[in-house]
């Protein structure tokens, strides 16, 4: 260890480099920013000096001076009531995808978690200048707060479903199509009594439910409200609720022969609950999930699900936000989804 401790070592700044190089600060600034106004040789020399001293331009000062900033806030809401965090792998992979997209485009990513019940507090990230734009993962039940945010001119893009009277820009999978594909598939497999599990208060789930109804209508199968059940988002609650519902349905002489779950996590919990009650998947009950998280392919049995284009999603969210920040109004973007058929929904084997 050197004699100067890390705590009292003053950070290097441009003036130091300038002094050492025998030039003015402006020259250093220009050199380090690759300006053509400075002699190539000088540029070279300054560059090497800076590198050898591990000097890097202070971003805060630069940003302050330039009145710009390259930080995008990515906000993952959490449920403060249960003090539970979102454990759904789908959200986490979304974070990864956004990290990639932002890094590729040279933005810094500020990750924050905020109380899902106080979504409008995210605006302070913008108001305080810490971020020049915001990506929100999931719109939850706070359509109005998001509208207010957008109306105030906060550049925000939301992963979620398109809603009427929407002032903010959403990017999302085609939930209506996803719901239709999943349901049509189950119908085609000969299932008629399909349970829909999910919280239809969430816009995305509501759209998937609409797709479900549409597919039923197309097939001339009557819609039965009793077959639509809300499931809590949090894992442990969900587990209990699912067990209860499977049990009650089962006791009523198994009044369903398929389940369409609004997330893979729910679907996997369902399969487990079914198995514990001695019901076979897919023979007795076919199951389809949503998201196509990594887990789905390795579930028992491998889970049929609706694939959401996660890595493309990160790119689209960032792209929409960049346009928005540039002042170009953005219409919601709906991305294609695909049904991935695995063993949980078909009795005759397919290539898993």
Partner DNA sequence: CTGAAAGCGCTAACAG
Partner DNA sequence: CTGTTAGCGCTTTCAG
Binding region for DNA (CB under 7 A): 11, 13-15, 22-27, 29-30, 32-33, 36-40, 42, 57-58, 61-62, 64-67
Number of Cβ within a 10 Å radius of residue 269: 23
Shortest distance in whole angstroms from residue 128 CB to DNA: 8
Report if residue 86 touches its own copies, rule: CB under 8 A.
Answer: yes
| Binding at 327: pick from its own copies, DNA, none (beta carbon under 5-8 Å per type) | its own copies
CA–CA–CA angle 195, 198, 201 (5° rounding): 130
Report if residue 244 touches its own copies, rule: CB under 8 A.
Answer: no
Report if residue 340 touches its own copies, rule: CB under 8 A.
Answer: no
> Which residues ranging from 300 to 329 are in contact with its own copies (CB under 8 A)?
300-301, 326-327
Closest to DNA by CB, 66 or 326 = 66
Going residue by residue from 157 to 196, which x/- string records binding to its own copies, judged by CB under 8 A?
A: ----------------------------------------
**What is the 3-state composition of the chain as percent helix, strand, coil, each rounded to the nearest 5?**
45, 15, 40
Closest to DNA by CB, 57 or 243 = 57
d(CA 267, CA 259): 8
Closest to DNA by CB, 54 or 328 = 54
Q: Where are the alpha helices (DSSP H) in the chain?
A: 14-21, 25-32, 40-52, 59-66, 89-104, 123-127, 143-151, 175-188, 203-218, 235-251, 264-276, 294-298, 310-325
d(CA 352, CA 306): 15
Residue 162, SS3 per DSSP? coil
Going residue by residue from 11 to 30, which x/- string records binding to its own copies, judged by CB under 8 A?
A: xx------------------
Report if residue 294 touches its own copies, rule: CB under 8 A.
Answer: yes
The first and second tokens of residue 105, run together, are 């485009």
Specify the stretch interacting with its own copies by CB under 8 A; choose among 26-34, 35-43, 49-57, 253-261: 49-57
Closest to its own copies by CB, 109 or 202 = 109
Report if residue 6 touches its own copies, rule: CB under 8 A.
Answer: yes
188, 165, 218: which is closest to 288 by C-alpha? 188
């Amino acid at each position: 260890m050197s004699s100067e401790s890390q705590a009292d070592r003053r950070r290097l700044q441009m003036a130091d480099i300038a002094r050492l190089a025998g030039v003015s600060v402006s020259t250093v600034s220009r050199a380090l920013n690759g300006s053509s106004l400075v002699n190539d040789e000088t540029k070279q020399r300054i560059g090497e000096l800076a590198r050898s001293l591990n000097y890097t331009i202070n971003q805060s000062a630069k940003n302050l001076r330039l009145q710009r900033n390259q930080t995008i806030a990515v906000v993952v809401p959490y449920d403060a009531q249960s003090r539970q965090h979102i454990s759904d792998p789908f959200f986490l992979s979304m974070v990864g995808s956004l990290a990639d997209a932002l890094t590729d485009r040279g933005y810094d990513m500020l990750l924050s978690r905020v109380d899902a019940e106080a979504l409008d507090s995210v605006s302070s990230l913008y108001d305080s200048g810490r971020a020049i734009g915001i990506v929100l993962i999931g719109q939850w039940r706070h359509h109005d707060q998001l509208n207010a945010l957008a109306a105030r001119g906060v550049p925000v893009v939301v992963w979620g479903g398109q809603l009427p009277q929407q002032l903010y820009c959403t990017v999302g999978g085609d939930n209506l199509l996803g719901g239709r594909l999943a349901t049509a598939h189950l119908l085609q497999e000969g299932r008629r009594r399909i349970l829909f599990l999910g919280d239809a208060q969430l816009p995305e789930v509501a759209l998937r439910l609409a797709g479900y109804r549409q597919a039923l209508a197309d097939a001339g199968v009557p819609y039965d409200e009793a077959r639509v059940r809300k499931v809590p988002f949090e894992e442990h609650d969900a587990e209990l609720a699912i067990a209860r519902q499977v049990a009650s349905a089962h006791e009523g002489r198994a009044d369903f022969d398929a389940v369409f779950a609004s997330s893979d996590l729910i679907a996997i919990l369902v399969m487990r609950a079914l198995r514990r009650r001695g019901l076979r998947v897919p023979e007795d009950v076919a199951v389809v999930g949503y998201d196509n998280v990594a887990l789905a392919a390795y579930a028992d049995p491998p889970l049929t699900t609706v694939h959401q284009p996660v890595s493309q999603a990160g790119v689209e969210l960032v792209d929409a936000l960049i346009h928005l920040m540039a002042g170009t109004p953005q219409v919601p973007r709906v991305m294609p989804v695909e049904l991935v058929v695995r063993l949980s929904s078909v009795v005759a084997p397919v290539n898993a």
